[in-house]
Structure formats: C-alpha cells, structure tokens
C-alpha cells in the first residue's frame, strides 16, 4: 500500500511538473512566434516602403495656381503632372457662345456648364486628344481656330471656347483635370 501511495504522489508531482513544462513550452512557443512575426515585419518594411511615391512625385500630385493677375480674355499655362494646364478667364461673349452651342452639333457632346465650375474660368489639360500635340490659342497672337478657342497645328483639330472638339480628327474634347477653387484668387489642381 505504501508503494501505491508513493506512486500516487509521484503521479501528482509528475503531472504538476508536466503542467509546468506545458506552460513553459506554450510561453516559449508564443514568444518565438511573436518575435518571428515582428522580425518579418521589420525585414519586409523597407520593401513595402520603397513602393510609396517619393517626395518629388507627391509634390507634382497637385499644383496651386494664383489666378488673381489674369484679366478677362487672357489665358495662362501651368504644368501639372508634366502636362500643360490651360486656364482661361473667358469673356462674356465667349461664355455666351459656349453656352449657346447646340449639343447635337458636337462630335463629343458635353454642355459648357458641365465643363466649368465658375462660368468665367475654364480649366483644362492642354493636350490634343488626337495624337497628343499642344494646341495653339493660349497667347494673344496664336491662331485660335474657326471657333475662337484652340487650334492643333499637328492635324488641324479645332476646339471652341469651352475646349470642345468642333472640327478635325480629335475624337474627344480637351480633358478637364480635377480642380477646385481654394478662394477667389487660387485654384488647386489635382
């Protein structure tokens, strides 16, 4: 009977040691997993971070433009993402002509009110939609085409005072970039 009692004690002590060993083993397992996961993240971070755009690219993502010096009938050109942005302060006659144009007469129908946020200001990407040339019409002495807007000298596309294609091989209107008026004298493009 003494042997049975010592065996029971040993089993009780052994199971206590086993449970203590299990707890140690679990702690070591979880600690190793945590350290391994942290090490993997630390090793992977430079590879993930290199995929983010650099500071010079982020600087080009948006352009703030001061339009306070632009007089009625004048145009200015800015650069955004390597493309020219045409900003024109339209005259009352240009606005009236653009708004009076019948949409059925346009190859790429788009109402003037859908192309501008303020009727006197037209902001668009100055790249012809045919083959990527830069249309004339920004300077006062430039040929403005048959419709008083812009003329692409490469293949003869004519755009109106709203930047819509009216004649020539260009399939679409001059695109409008994402922009907003910060205040009455500044535009944020991008």
What is the spatial order of strands in the sheet that 179-183 belongs to?
63-66, 186-189, 179-183
What stretch of H or E contains 113? helix 112-115
- What is the distance, to the nearest Å, from the Cα of residue 126 to the centroid of all Cα atoms in its chain? 17
- What amino acid positions are annotated as catalytic residues? 155
Identify the bridge partners of residue 78 per DSSP, sorted by sequence position. Answer: 85
Q: Which of these, 114, 112, 86, 90, lies nearest to 99 by C-alpha position?
A: 112
């Amino acid at each position: 009977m003494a042997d049975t009692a010592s065996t029971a004690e040993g089993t009780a002590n052994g199971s206590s040691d086993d449970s203590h060993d299990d707890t140690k083993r679990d702690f070591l397992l979880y600690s190793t997993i945590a350290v391994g996961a942290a090490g993997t993240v630390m090793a992977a971070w430079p590879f993930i971070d290199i995929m983010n755009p650099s500071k010079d690219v982020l600087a080009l993502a948006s352009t703030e433009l001061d339009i306070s010096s632009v007089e009625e009938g004048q145009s200015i050109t800015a650069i955004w993402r390597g493309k020219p942005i045409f900003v024109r302060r339209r005259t009352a006659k240009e606005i009236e002509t653009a708004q009076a144009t019948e949409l059925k007469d346009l190859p790429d129908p788009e109402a003037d009110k859908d192309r501008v946020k303020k009727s006197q200001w037209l902001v668009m990407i100055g790249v012809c939609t045919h083959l990527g040339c830069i249309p004339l019409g920004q300077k006062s002495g430039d040929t403005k085409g048959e419709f008083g807007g812009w003329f692409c000298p490469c293949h003869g596309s004519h755009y109106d005072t709203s930047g819509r294609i009216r004649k020539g091989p260009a399939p679409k209107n001059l695109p409008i970039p994402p922009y907003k008026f910060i205040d009455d004298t500044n535009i944020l493009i991008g």
